[in-house]
Amino acid sequence: MRQKKFCAANIGVSVIGQGTWYIDHGDRKSAVAALRRGIDLGMTHIDTAEMYGDAELVVADAIDGQRDRVFIVSKVLPSNASRKGTVQACERSLRRLRTDRLDCYLLHWRGQYPLAETVAAFDELIRAGKIRSWGVSNFDADDLDELFAVAGEGQIACNQVLYHLNERAIEHSVIPCCEANDVAVVAYSPFGHDDFPSPQSAKGKVLADISARLGATPRQVALGFLTRRKSVFAIPKASSAHHAAENAAAGDFVLSAQDIAAIEKAFPLGKEPSSLPMI
């Protein structure tokens, strides 16, 4: 599994990680097995959040006995993101995850509390050794500019945003802004939501042709496309150990310029939206 520098965090992180949204809705044993299989295959970047129900508890079971192998990310809800509330939310997540620190802690999206309060809490948590780095999620370029003014340079590890083949809006302003400021981009929902192209569709055929030539699967090709830039990571969710293995294999190949051009034609960028898409 390839690793890239997680920008301001200055830590090597697997280019393909593991998302956990809704992971607590299925069989607990299968979910834990999928996460462990992913870790064994190098997908050591595991993303969760206090909003995700019991997902942090599932992650705790999966990383039991191997905490030092993984890069754990969790998130604070905007409704909890005051200075005091952020610290308390982090401590709750640490208890649920059965660990003494997070590798990165994110503000899930912007809310009512001033960014300065949340940043102050993040700084406090770093000084206390409870988090190693911090970042944000669902921040557009103008939000990031405000955050840079509050936090200063070199403080923001990542921005986690919606990014898949049918939703490339972040390529307009968000990715360039992040790359210019040494902020990693983490793609959540990289396969979309029940709208991944079928092999019978024109878009699906493009992916199928490329995957057949590479000895890969269409989903692996999609992940390869999304992570083609040095700043971008992806965190697909796997519902089984088999799916985890499929995701992990995507971290070991690089698409050619011809393949990238074919995918860009099949999945056009489109116009920049007035606001950042999120789910």
CA distance 188 to 190: 5
Pick the CATH number of 3-197+219-253 from 3.20.20.100, 3.40.50.300, 3.20.20.70, 3.40.640.10: 3.20.20.100
The catalytic position among 22, 52, 105, 188 is 52
Q: What are phi and psi of 73, to 5 degrees?
A: -120, 135
185 sits in which H/E element? strand 184-188
Condensed to tens digits (0 to 9), the pLDDT of residues 140-154 reads 999 999 999 999 989
In terms of Cβ atoms closer than 10 Å to its own Cβ (0-12, 13-18, 19+), residue 179 is middle
Q: 270: phi > 0 → left, psi -120 to 50 → alpha, else beta; which?
A: left
**How far apart are alpha carbons 23 and 264 in whole angstroms?**
31
- Band of the pLDDT at 277, cuts 50, 70, 90? confident
Residue 163 CB partners (closer than 8 Å, separation 6+): 170, 185, 187, 188, 189, 190, 226, 232, 234
Pick the closest to residue 106 from 11, 184, 208 (CA basis).
184
Question: Does 277 or 259 have the greater pLDDT score?
Answer: 259
Query: What is the widest separation between alpha-carbon atoms in the chain?
Result: 54
Model confidence over 23-60: pLDDT tens digits?
888 889 999 999 999 999 999 999 999 999 999 999 99
Q: How many Å apart are CA 29 and CA 65, to the nearest integer?
A: 16
Q: What is the pLDDT of residue 10?
A: 73
- Of 246, 159, 32, nearest in space to 236 by CA: 246
The model's confidence at residue 195, banded by pLDDT at 50, 70 and 90, is confident
Question: Above pLDDT 70, what percent of the chain?
Answer: 99
Domain ranges of the chain: 3-197+219-253
Q: How many CA atoms lie within 13 A of 144 on its CB side?
A: 31
Could you report the per-residue pLDDT of 69-113, keeping only the tens digit for each?
Answer: 999 999 999 999 999 999 999 999 999 999 999 999 999 999 999
- 52 carries an active-site annotation: yes
Q: What is the pLDDT of residues 197-244, one digit of tens each?
A: 998 899 999 999 999 999 999 999 999 999 999 999 999 998 889 999
